[in-house]
Amino acid sequence: MNNTAKKILIIGGNSNIGKDLIFYFLKKNYKVIATFNRSKININHQNLKKKRFNFRNKFRLTDKFDILIYLASSTPSKDKINKLMIKKNIVGFKKILDSNCSFKKIVLFSTISVYGDIISNLITEKTKFNRPNYYGKSKIQMEDILKEYAKNNYSEYLILRLPGVIGNFISYNTFINKIIFDLYNEKKVFYNNPKQFFNNVVHTLTVFKIIEKFIKTSSFSNQIFNVCSSKPTKLIEIIKVIKKKFNSKSIINVGKDKKGFQISYKKLKKFNLPISKTKVEIMKTIQFYLSKYTRQL
Protein backbone atom coordinates (compact mmCIF):
# COMPACT_ATOMS: atom_id res chain seq x y z
CA MET A 1 0.00 0.00 0.00
CA ASN A 2 1.44 3.41 -0.91
CA ASN A 3 1.52 6.47 1.32
CA THR A 4 -1.47 8.23 -0.32
CA ALA A 5 -3.69 5.30 0.69
CA LYS A 6 -2.62 5.35 4.32
CA LYS A 7 -4.90 7.10 6.76
CA ILE A 8 -3.66 8.51 10.07
CA LEU A 9 -5.67 9.68 13.09
CA ILE A 10 -3.78 12.18 15.25
CA ILE A 11 -5.30 12.92 18.66
CA GLY A 12 -3.98 16.26 19.93
CA GLY A 13 -3.21 17.90 16.61
CA ASN A 14 -3.44 21.43 18.00
CA SER A 15 -0.35 21.05 20.22
CA ASN A 16 3.11 22.20 19.12
CA ILE A 17 4.21 18.62 18.54
CA GLY A 18 0.87 17.79 16.92
CA LYS A 19 1.21 20.57 14.35
CA ASP A 20 4.75 19.46 13.54
CA LEU A 21 3.38 15.93 13.16
CA ILE A 22 0.63 17.07 10.78
CA PHE A 23 3.10 19.00 8.61
CA TYR A 24 5.44 16.00 8.44
CA PHE A 25 2.86 13.46 7.31
CA LEU A 26 1.08 15.79 4.90
CA LYS A 27 4.42 16.35 3.18
CA LYS A 28 4.71 12.56 2.93
CA ASN A 29 1.28 12.41 1.22
CA TYR A 30 -0.57 10.61 4.00
CA LYS A 31 -4.24 11.33 4.64
CA VAL A 32 -4.58 12.88 8.08
CA ILE A 33 -7.50 13.38 10.43
CA ALA A 34 -6.45 15.46 13.44
CA THR A 35 -8.41 16.38 16.56
CA PHE A 36 -8.38 19.55 18.60
CA ASN A 37 -10.12 20.67 21.77
CA ARG A 38 -10.20 24.42 22.43
CA SER A 39 -7.90 26.05 19.89
CA LYS A 40 -8.42 25.10 16.26
CA ILE A 41 -5.66 23.74 14.04
CA ASN A 42 -4.51 26.58 11.77
CA ILE A 43 -3.36 24.30 8.95
CA ASN A 44 -5.30 23.86 5.72
CA HIS A 45 -4.63 21.11 3.22
CA GLN A 46 -6.67 18.90 0.93
CA ASN A 47 -5.45 15.77 2.75
CA LEU A 48 -6.23 17.14 6.23
CA LYS A 49 -9.55 16.89 8.07
CA LYS A 50 -10.00 18.49 11.49
CA LYS A 51 -12.36 17.25 14.20
CA ARG A 52 -13.14 18.70 17.63
CA PHE A 53 -12.78 16.22 20.51
CA ASN A 54 -13.24 16.76 24.24
CA PHE A 55 -12.51 13.86 26.59
CA ARG A 56 -15.85 14.47 28.34
CA ASN A 57 -17.76 13.61 25.17
CA LYS A 58 -18.11 10.47 23.11
CA PHE A 59 -15.77 10.15 20.15
CA ARG A 60 -18.19 9.92 17.24
CA LEU A 61 -15.89 9.27 14.32
CA THR A 62 -16.30 5.88 12.65
CA ASP A 63 -13.54 4.81 10.31
CA LYS A 64 -10.68 2.43 9.68
CA PHE A 65 -7.20 3.81 10.19
CA ASP A 66 -3.80 2.48 9.33
CA ILE A 67 -2.45 4.16 12.43
CA LEU A 68 -3.56 6.08 15.52
CA ILE A 69 -1.05 8.53 16.97
CA TYR A 70 -2.14 9.59 20.45
CA LEU A 71 -0.42 12.61 21.96
CA ALA A 72 -3.27 14.48 23.65
CA SER A 73 -2.77 14.72 27.40
CA SER A 74 -3.23 16.82 30.44
CA THR A 75 0.39 17.81 31.13
CA PRO A 76 2.28 19.67 33.88
CA SER A 77 2.74 22.63 31.51
CA LYS A 78 -1.04 22.98 31.04
CA ASP A 79 -2.67 21.72 34.24
CA LYS A 80 -2.08 21.14 37.93
CA ILE A 81 -0.43 17.83 38.76
CA ASN A 82 -3.15 16.05 40.71
CA LYS A 83 -5.43 13.00 40.61
CA LEU A 84 -7.71 14.70 38.07
CA MET A 85 -4.83 14.52 35.62
CA ILE A 86 -4.97 10.71 35.77
CA LYS A 87 -8.72 10.68 35.19
CA LYS A 88 -8.60 13.10 32.26
CA ASN A 89 -5.78 11.28 30.49
CA ILE A 90 -7.19 7.79 30.95
CA VAL A 91 -10.80 8.67 30.14
CA GLY A 92 -9.80 10.48 26.94
CA PHE A 93 -7.58 7.62 25.79
CA LYS A 94 -10.22 4.97 26.49
CA LYS A 95 -12.86 6.90 24.55
CA ILE A 96 -10.70 6.80 21.44
CA LEU A 97 -9.88 3.11 21.83
CA ASP A 98 -13.52 2.23 22.61
CA SER A 99 -14.87 4.18 19.63
CA ASN A 100 -16.21 2.61 16.46
CA CYS A 101 -12.87 3.16 14.74
CA SER A 102 -10.38 0.40 14.09
CA PHE A 103 -6.60 0.78 14.17
CA LYS A 104 -3.99 -1.46 12.62
CA LYS A 105 -1.21 0.24 14.55
CA ILE A 106 -1.16 2.60 17.53
CA VAL A 107 1.55 4.98 18.74
CA LEU A 108 1.29 6.35 22.27
CA PHE A 109 3.36 9.36 23.28
CA SER A 110 4.41 8.60 26.84
CA THR A 111 7.05 10.31 28.97
CA ILE A 112 10.31 9.87 30.86
CA SER A 113 8.27 11.08 33.86
CA VAL A 114 7.04 7.49 34.34
CA TYR A 115 10.35 6.78 36.11
CA GLY A 116 9.62 9.32 38.82
CA ASP A 117 12.53 10.24 41.10
CA ILE A 118 15.50 9.01 39.11
CA ILE A 119 18.35 7.87 41.33
CA SER A 120 20.58 6.11 38.79
CA ASN A 121 23.04 7.82 36.45
CA LEU A 122 21.58 6.05 33.41
CA ILE A 123 17.95 5.14 32.78
CA THR A 124 16.90 2.34 30.48
CA GLU A 125 13.55 0.85 29.53
CA LYS A 126 14.09 -1.58 32.44
CA THR A 127 14.62 1.12 35.06
CA LYS A 128 12.11 0.68 37.88
CA PHE A 129 9.48 3.33 38.54
CA ASN A 130 10.22 5.33 41.68
CA ARG A 131 7.37 7.45 43.02
CA PRO A 132 6.24 9.04 39.74
CA ASN A 133 3.92 12.04 40.03
CA TYR A 134 0.30 11.93 38.87
CA TYR A 135 1.32 12.78 35.32
CA GLY A 136 3.77 9.88 35.25
CA LYS A 137 1.18 7.57 36.82
CA SER A 138 -1.40 8.50 34.19
CA LYS A 139 1.03 7.56 31.42
CA ILE A 140 1.89 4.23 33.08
CA GLN A 141 -1.81 3.36 33.20
CA MET A 142 -2.29 4.47 29.59
CA GLU A 143 0.59 2.22 28.54
CA ASP A 144 -1.05 -0.75 30.30
CA ILE A 145 -4.43 0.04 28.71
CA LEU A 146 -2.82 0.12 25.27
CA LYS A 147 -1.05 -3.21 25.75
CA GLU A 148 -4.33 -4.87 26.75
CA TYR A 149 -6.24 -3.25 23.88
CA ALA A 150 -3.66 -4.34 21.31
CA LYS A 151 -3.72 -7.87 22.62
CA ASN A 152 -7.52 -8.11 22.43
CA ASN A 153 -7.88 -6.35 19.07
CA TYR A 154 -4.88 -7.75 17.20
CA SER A 155 -3.34 -4.31 16.82
CA GLU A 156 0.33 -3.46 16.93
CA TYR A 157 1.56 -0.78 19.33
CA LEU A 158 4.58 1.44 19.86
CA ILE A 159 5.14 3.35 23.11
CA LEU A 160 7.56 6.28 23.00
CA ARG A 161 8.72 7.63 26.36
CA LEU A 162 9.77 11.15 25.46
CA PRO A 163 12.18 13.55 27.18
CA GLY A 164 12.23 17.28 26.42
CA VAL A 165 10.89 17.60 22.87
CA ILE A 166 12.08 20.40 20.59
CA GLY A 167 10.91 21.11 17.06
CA ASN A 168 9.80 23.70 14.54
CA PHE A 169 7.91 25.67 17.16
CA ILE A 170 8.39 28.24 19.91
CA SER A 171 7.93 26.80 23.39
CA TYR A 172 8.73 27.67 27.00
CA ASN A 173 7.53 24.45 28.57
CA THR A 174 10.64 22.29 28.95
CA PHE A 175 14.17 22.99 30.17
CA ILE A 176 15.87 22.99 26.78
CA ASN A 177 13.03 24.90 25.06
CA LYS A 178 13.23 27.55 27.78
CA ILE A 179 17.01 27.84 27.38
CA ILE A 180 16.74 28.29 23.61
CA PHE A 181 13.88 30.81 23.94
CA ASP A 182 15.67 32.88 26.60
CA LEU A 183 18.99 32.98 24.74
CA TYR A 184 17.29 33.97 21.49
CA ASN A 185 15.42 36.78 23.27
CA GLU A 186 18.51 37.79 25.26
CA LYS A 187 16.91 37.14 28.63
CA LYS A 188 18.83 36.17 31.76
CA VAL A 189 19.60 32.47 31.92
CA PHE A 190 20.25 30.34 35.00
CA TYR A 191 20.98 26.63 35.00
CA ASN A 192 22.56 23.96 37.20
CA ASN A 193 24.77 20.99 36.35
CA PRO A 194 27.15 22.71 33.89
CA LYS A 195 29.38 19.63 33.68
CA GLN A 196 26.50 17.17 33.42
CA PHE A 197 26.45 15.21 30.16
CA PHE A 198 23.03 15.85 28.66
CA ASN A 199 20.97 13.91 26.09
CA ASN A 200 17.51 14.43 27.57
CA VAL A 201 16.23 15.92 24.31
CA VAL A 202 14.83 14.86 20.94
CA HIS A 203 13.66 16.76 17.88
CA THR A 204 10.21 16.05 16.47
CA LEU A 205 11.74 15.08 13.12
CA THR A 206 13.58 12.17 14.75
CA VAL A 207 10.42 11.03 16.53
CA PHE A 208 8.39 11.15 13.32
CA LYS A 209 10.99 9.14 11.43
CA ILE A 210 10.64 6.42 14.06
CA ILE A 211 6.86 6.49 13.67
CA GLU A 212 7.06 6.32 9.89
CA LYS A 213 9.35 3.31 10.12
CA PHE A 214 6.82 1.69 12.47
CA ILE A 215 4.09 2.29 9.87
CA LYS A 216 6.12 0.55 7.20
CA THR A 217 7.41 -2.44 9.17
CA SER A 218 6.52 -4.76 12.05
CA SER A 219 10.14 -5.40 13.02
CA PHE A 220 9.82 -3.46 16.29
CA SER A 221 6.09 -3.71 17.04
CA ASN A 222 4.80 -3.97 20.61
CA GLN A 223 7.87 -2.30 22.08
CA ILE A 224 8.61 0.55 24.49
CA PHE A 225 11.46 2.94 23.76
CA ASN A 226 13.05 5.76 25.70
CA VAL A 227 13.61 8.32 22.95
CA CYS A 228 16.60 10.64 23.30
CA SER A 229 19.64 11.98 21.47
CA SER A 230 23.02 10.31 21.10
CA LYS A 231 26.49 11.62 21.99
CA PRO A 232 25.61 13.26 25.35
CA THR A 233 27.22 16.68 25.67
CA LYS A 234 28.06 18.79 28.71
CA LEU A 235 25.38 21.37 29.41
CA ILE A 236 27.92 24.17 29.53
CA GLU A 237 28.98 23.32 25.97
CA ILE A 238 25.36 23.22 24.77
CA ILE A 239 24.65 26.64 26.28
CA LYS A 240 27.79 28.07 24.64
CA VAL A 241 26.75 26.74 21.23
CA ILE A 242 23.22 28.17 21.46
CA LYS A 243 24.49 31.54 22.72
CA LYS A 244 27.08 31.75 19.92
CA LYS A 245 24.62 30.79 17.16
CA PHE A 246 22.19 33.48 18.30
CA ASN A 247 24.99 35.98 18.98
CA SER A 248 23.09 36.45 22.22
CA LYS A 249 23.99 39.02 24.86
CA SER A 250 22.16 37.11 27.59
CA ILE A 251 23.62 37.16 31.08
CA ILE A 252 24.21 33.57 32.14
CA ASN A 253 24.40 32.46 35.78
CA VAL A 254 25.62 28.94 36.41
CA GLY A 255 24.64 26.96 39.49
CA LYS A 256 26.25 23.96 41.13
CA ASP A 257 26.65 20.47 39.80
CA LYS A 258 23.95 18.23 41.20
CA LYS A 259 23.09 14.62 40.58
CA GLY A 260 21.80 14.14 37.05
CA PHE A 261 21.17 11.34 34.61
CA GLN A 262 21.53 10.31 30.99
CA ILE A 263 19.12 8.26 28.90
CA SER A 264 20.34 5.04 27.35
CA TYR A 265 19.85 4.78 23.58
CA LYS A 266 21.11 1.20 23.42
CA LYS A 267 17.66 -0.20 22.59
CA LEU A 268 17.09 2.39 19.84
CA LYS A 269 20.37 1.31 18.23
CA LYS A 270 19.55 -2.37 18.69
CA PHE A 271 16.42 -1.96 16.53
CA ASN A 272 18.24 0.34 14.11
CA LEU A 273 15.90 3.26 14.80
CA PRO A 274 16.64 6.88 13.87
CA ILE A 275 18.74 8.73 16.42
CA SER A 276 20.69 11.96 16.17
CA LYS A 277 23.49 13.60 18.14
CA THR A 278 22.52 16.02 20.91
CA LYS A 279 24.05 19.10 19.28
CA VAL A 280 22.55 18.16 15.90
CA GLU A 281 19.07 17.92 17.41
CA ILE A 282 19.40 21.31 19.07
CA MET A 283 20.78 22.90 15.90
CA LYS A 284 17.57 21.96 14.05
CA THR A 285 15.52 24.16 16.37
CA ILE A 286 18.16 26.91 16.34
CA GLN A 287 17.84 26.99 12.55
CA PHE A 288 14.06 27.29 12.89
CA TYR A 289 14.51 30.37 15.11
CA LEU A 290 17.06 31.87 12.74
CA SER A 291 14.70 31.34 9.80
CA LYS A 292 12.21 33.67 11.52
CA TYR A 293 9.82 30.83 12.38
CA THR A 294 9.01 29.86 8.82
CA ARG A 295 7.30 26.52 8.29
CA GLN A 296 5.68 25.61 5.01
CA LEU A 297 4.05 22.61 3.38
Model confidence pTM above 0.85: yes
Q: Is the pLDDT at 4 greater than 80, yes or no?
A: no
> Average pLDDT of 32-44?
91
Q: Would you mind telling me the total number of residues written for the chain in this entry?
A: 297
Q: CA 108 → CA 97, 147, 161, 233, distances in Å? A: 12, 10, 9, 28
3-state SS of 196-211?
CEECCEEEHHHHHHHH
Is there a contact between 157 and 142 (Cβ–Cβ < 8 Å)? no
In whole numbers, what is the pLDDT of the chain averaged over residues?
92
Is there a contact between 167 and 16 (Cβ–Cβ < 8 Å)? yes
What confidence tens digit (pLDDT) does each residue in 183-227 have? 999 999 999 999 999 999 999 999 999 999 999 999 999 999 999
The pLDDT confidence band at residue 95, using thresholds 50, 70 and 90, is: very high
Is there a contact between 216 and 272 (Cβ–Cβ < 8 Å)? no
Domains of the chain, each with CATH number or no CATH: 3-165+201-226 (3.40.50.720), 169-199+230-260+277-290 (3.90.25.10)
Q: Is the pLDDT at 244 greater than 90, yes or no?
A: yes
Is there a contact between 286 and 207 (Cβ–Cβ < 8 Å)? no
What confidence tens digit (pLDDT) does each residue in 75-88 have? 776 666 778 888 88
CB atoms within 10 A of CB 4: 11
* Span of 85-94, 214-223, 288-297 with lowest mean pLDDT: 288-297
3-state SS of the chain?
CCHHHCEEEEECCCCHHHHHHHHHHHHCCCEEEEEECCCCCCCCCCCEEEEECCCCCCCCCCCEEEEEEECCCCCCCCCCCCHHHHHHHHHHHHHHHCCCCEEEEEEEEEEHHHHECCCCCEECCCCCCECCCHHHHHHHHHHHHHHHHHHHHCCEEEEEEECEEECCCCCCCCHHHHHHHHHHCCCCEEECCCCCEECCEEEHHHHHHHHHHHHHCCCCCCEEEECCCECCEEHHHHHHHHHHHHCCCCCEEECCCCCCCEECCHHHHHCCCCCCEHHHHHHHHHHHHHCCCCCCC
* CA–CA gap between residue 41 and residue 116 (Å, rounded): 32
The pLDDT confidence band at residue 138, using thresholds 50, 70 and 90, is: very high
What pLDDT is recorded for position 1?
43
What pLDDT is recorded for position 55?
79
